[in-house]
Chain A
Amino acid sequence: MYASVKKLTGWYLGVGMVALFIGGAMGPLQKLEHVGINVYPALQNVGLNSYYQGLTIHGVLNALVWTTFFIVGFLTFATVNSLERDLTHPKLNWASFYIMVIGLVMAAVPVLLNTATVLFTFYPPLQASPFYYMGLTLVVVGSWVGGWGMFLTYYAWRKENPGVQTPFIALASNITMAMWQIATLGIATEMLWLIIPWSLGWVDGIDPQLARTFFWFTGHPIVYFWLLPAYVSWYGMVPKQVGGKLFSEPLARLVFWLFLLLSIPVGLHHQYLDPSVPAGWKIVHAVLTYSLFIPSLLTAFNIIASMEIGGRARGGTGLLGWIRALPWDNPSFTAQNLAMILFAFGGIGGLTNASYNLNLVIHNTMWIPGHFHLTVGSGVTLTFFGIAYWLVPKLANKPLFSNKVALWQAWTWFAGMLLMSNGLHILGLNFGSPRRTMLGVAPYASSDWQPLLIEAALGGIILGVSGLLFYTNMLGTVFSKKTLTEEIEMPVAEPLDPHPAPAWLDTWRPWVVATVVLILVSYGPLLVNLISNLNLTSPGFNALW
């Protein structure tokens, strides 16, 4: 079924997983460095020059490449299977893949040659090889093209099915890609107008403040670009996997529209410390950031209720007894449920660090990577692993290599991440230990940090082992000689209430217009101000490490 999209999705996932393997391998090295085990000198022979080069590889390949490739592949697959209609322009979707791969190679080569050690946020005035920026830009452009392929397919389906409500999974996938198209206008502007001409030497200086503002225009919604595909699975697939139904489909649709509306005009909560951003705009973005708590809590309620339906249908009784009745022997479910639990803690950390005064204390500390690993490193990545446990066997037409190994993988990721993130959060909050820093050689490092750094390192090592278990399973599946006796179907949750959702939850125009208006109101005056006071004065700093 839909052979073209199966192959395409397989390639997207494959490239993403290779990226995660390389990027993930850097993680335990960082944690070991923090406890004084510096392996970087020994790795110079293989081209790893410094902690900071490793950190750049870790961030770029994990946070940018693994996620984007998996998401574009998964959402394309989900759209086609949800609409039960093949891609209208498969060549366009393949073009998306090739553009992304070309971009990846262009960005990866300078990173591996240590000419782009600027971390994944690439804040100017740190300056990398222009190929790094052009490569990342192509990855984004490729993801846009993938989105266009999805939109055209959705549009064709709409023409063929007038008056029919869009299936939830297809709608949610397309809203996610629409949000991404709007959100990435910030980083596209930053790259094309400011950074690339500057890195090519066409202009002498850059305005770091304006560049950072454009970066965070995209930089926070990118979190939702990572997260919403996980929500597609949690809402649209997990209820089916647990034998339940989606508790409220209208509420699920509303949540996705709210994320379209609210994901973007919140970036300034990453810039509370930036002196050129007036406090008033920081307050506006802080309020909008907290408004994201509404769809988040609606999500928690709706998904847990859907699982409760499943648990009770499987014989679970009592107030919470249904939890034990859930299919904990299914690694796809277990990985995703553990991801949800870790993400719940990530959400609490996110709420906390979005408050202005606490943000002043923890912003540049280990708290942030602790939070980040609970969200993108767990809520997102562990969910993607859970999806891979049914999707890769389906794509390869082979059974999962080992259920048991997959279950161990999920639980070890859970345990490793709990240890690591707990250590990092406390280091940041209680001790102000800086992030993005070689703590192993920091003269100001306190002996009080040591137990927590050891805890984090232990967590990092467990995560490394867990990652190896994942790749063992993926390779074992793909290279297995067995074939499936029965095709795996994409799990699609039925709604508890079979009546269609209200029409306003299947209508694009008002939501897109409201999104654009809210962005213009929340970002427009600030951007006009920053642009009219443009200061292209800062030279680039490169070859620092």
Chain B
Amino acid sequence: MEKDKKYKAPQGTVALVILYVILIIALWGSAYLTMLARGGTIG
């Protein structure tokens, strides 16, 4: 545990949450672009 002191703050968790936020942006963005490619909500 001594050498792992720098991880006392949950840095792994912070990394995973950042990854999750990136995933949200990527998947939401992808869905939005798909919607636009289909002609949006027009017609």
Could you tell me if B31 and A429 are in contact, using CB atoms closer than 8 angstroms?
yes
Shortest CB-to-CB span from A535 to chain B, Å, is: 28
Contacts of A360 in B (CB 8 A): 41
CB contact between A320 and one of B3, B12, B23, B35 (< 8 Å): that residue: B12
Contact B15 A247 (CB under 8 A): no
Q: Is the Cβ of A352 less than 8 Å from the Cβ of B27? A: yes
CA of A344 to CA of B15 in the docked complex: distance in angstroms? Answer: 15
Q: How far is the CA of A348 from the CA of B13 in the complex (A)?
A: 18
Binds B, one of A198-206, A299-307, A412-420: A299-307
A304 near B13: Cβ-Cβ < 8 Å? yes
Query: What separation, in Å, do the CA atoms of A536 and B1 have in the docked complex?
Result: 69
Contact residues in A for B32 (Cβ distance below 8 Å): 358
CB under 8 Å from chain A, chain B span 3-43:
3-4, 7, 10-13, 15-17, 20, 23-24, 27-28, 31-32, 34-35, 38, 40-41
- A361–B31 alpha-carbon span in the complex (Å): 10
Q: What range describes how many residues of B lie at the interface?
A: 20 to 34
Q: Kindly list chain B residues whose C-beta atoms are within 8 Å of the C-beta of A361.
A: 35, 38, 41
Most chain A beta carbons < 10 A, residue from B11, B16, B23, B32: B16
CB-CB under 8 A for A352 and B28, given A304-B10, A319-B12: yes
Assign chain A's interface to a size class: 20 to 34
Inter-chain contact B13/A308, CB cutoff 8 Å: yes
Say yes or no: A348 contacts B28, CB within 8 Å: yes
State whether A319 and B34 are in contact (beta carbons under 8 Å apart), knowing that A300-B17, A304-B17 are contacts in the complex. no
Residue among A311, A319, A348, A429 making CB contact with B23, cutoff 8 Å: A348
The answer to whether B7 and A312 have CB atoms under 8 Å apart is yes
Query: In whole angstroms, how far apart are the Cα atoms of A356 and B40 in the complex?
Result: 12
* Distance between Cα atoms of A361 and B16 in the complex (Å): 31
Answer whether A320 and B15 are a contact pair too, CB < 8 Å, given A348-B24, A429-B31.
Answer: yes
Query: A301, B12: Cβ atoms under 8 Å?
Result: no
**CB contact between A348 and one of B1, B7, B27 (< 8 Å): that residue:** B27
Does A517 make an interface contact (CB < 8 A)?
Answer: no
Contact B35 A357 (CB under 8 A): yes
Residues of chain B contacted by A300 (CB below 8 angstroms): 17, 20
CB distance B7 to A319 under 8 Å?
Answer: yes
Residues 288-322 of A, flagged 1 when their CB comes within 8 A of B and 0 if not, give: 00000000010011001100110110000111101
Instruction: Show 12 residue pairs from A and B whose CB-CB distance is below 8 angstroms, ordered by the A residue.
Output: A247-B10, A304-B17, A308-B7, A312-B4, A319-B7, A319-B11, A322-B7, A352-B27, A357-B35, A361-B38, A361-B41, A432-B38
Not counting A304-B17, A322-B12, a sample of 9 additional A-B residue pairs whose C-beta atoms are within 8 angstroms of each other reads A300-B20, A301-B13, A317-B3, A318-B7, A319-B11, A320-B15, A348-B27, A352-B27, A357-B35
Task: Write the residues of chain B forming the contact surface with A, with a CB cutoff of 8 angstroms.
Answer: 1, 3-4, 7, 10-13, 15-17, 20, 23-24, 27-28, 31-32, 34-35, 38, 40-41
